[in-house]
Amino acid sequence: MKIRKRKESDFIIDLEQNALGSLLHGIEHYVDALKWFDSKTNTKHRSHFRGEIKHFEILIFKHLKFTIMHVSHAIELFLKARLAKAHQLLIYLKPENEINDDTLTVGFDSLLGRLKNIGVILTKEETDDLKALRKTRHSIEHHEIQKDIESVKMYIGRATRFLEKFLNNEFNIKLKEEILNDESLEKDGEEMYRTLSEAIYSYEERLQKAKGEMNEYLPYDSKERFIDKEIALCKLCGEETIIIPDDRYDDKRAECFFCGEIYFYEHCNRCGLPILSFRPLKAGEYSPCSYCWHEIMSKE
């Protein structure tokens, strides 16, 4: 059946779904590689397990290789899906010819050029990232290099950092939500995204990202002061990255934008400051707050 006979919307959705599936498979392989690496590390000090260590190394390399191949394939599919949103014929090498299942699609350099021509402008850094990622995949496919955990961590961090922004801007896709809500994954979604986040962001980068996300939920007045909201300190990570009330929840819950810990909150009847708890608070449990309690006790 000729592809051009299919509905254009179905064609684009297929590209997006295939790309997302490839990306998630790549992340799963990365998580597996980390687990086998930990097993190898725990066994390394025992000399009589040398055969087992060699087995671990083979498994680690296999998962790292598939990590790079799947993630790289996902990036290429997402770029083509964006091109297809303008017109599905744009993804083909020679769109003027008859289109069928064997028709060649556009090469990488032409793909970037066509995206630019339809108004998708990538920064020089993003373009350099894409070219470097493609080069790494090419090397892996031809067995020219051996990849270790740290280099692949940098690879997947670089790739996913690009994809998070690109998917949000061009497809309105939130990568975190896709991972957490995908029921087909064999692994825990939260574990996968946490592992992925460690590869993407250093502590400071993650903190700046969290504060940037917070700003989307903070209404400001004409003097650029946020109103009707309070900023609270997270007990777990120690960062001021909690907004009360949290518009993401309909009840008295608030989630730390940095570490993801979820709290229940009430307000002190004496000073009005928010009180955070890991469980729902009953009447009388949250007033006075610890600050007021210390103040009261110091006066006695």
Structure tokens at 197: 């986040």
Q: Measured between alpha carbons, how far is 26 from 64 in angstroms, rounded to an integer?
A: 9
Q: 32, 107, 38: which is closest to 62 by C-alpha?
A: 32
**How do residues 167-198 score in pLDDT, each as one tens digit?**
999 999 888 888 888 877 767 788 888 888 88
Residue 136, pLDDT above cutoff 80 = no
Assigned domain for 147 exists: yes
- Total domains, the chain: 2
Claim to verify: residue 167 and residue 284 sit in the same structural domain: no
Claim to verify: residue 104 and residue 22 sit in the same structural domain: yes
Claim to verify: residue 250 and residue 177 sit in the same structural domain: no
Claim to verify: residue 81 and residue 226 sit in the same structural domain: no
Assigned domain for 10 exists: yes
- Is the backbone of residue 272 left (phi > 0), alpha (psi -120 to 50) or beta? left
Assigned domain for 209 exists: no
Residue 46, pLDDT above cutoff 60 = no
Claim to verify: residue 188 and residue 289 sit in the same structural domain: no
Assigned domain for 206 exists: no
How many other CB atoms are there within 10 angstroms of residue 106's CB atom? 19
Assigned domain for 207 exists: no
How many other CB atoms are there within 10 angstroms of residue 235's CB atom? 14
Claim to verify: residue 221 and residue 76 sit in the same structural domain: no
Mean per-residue pLDDT of the chain: 80
CA distances from 207 to 11, 137, 245 (A): 38, 30, 20
More confident residue, 2 or 299: 299
**How do residues 5-15 score in pLDDT, each as one tens digit?**
445 567 777 88
Q: Which domain holds residue 231?
A: 217-299
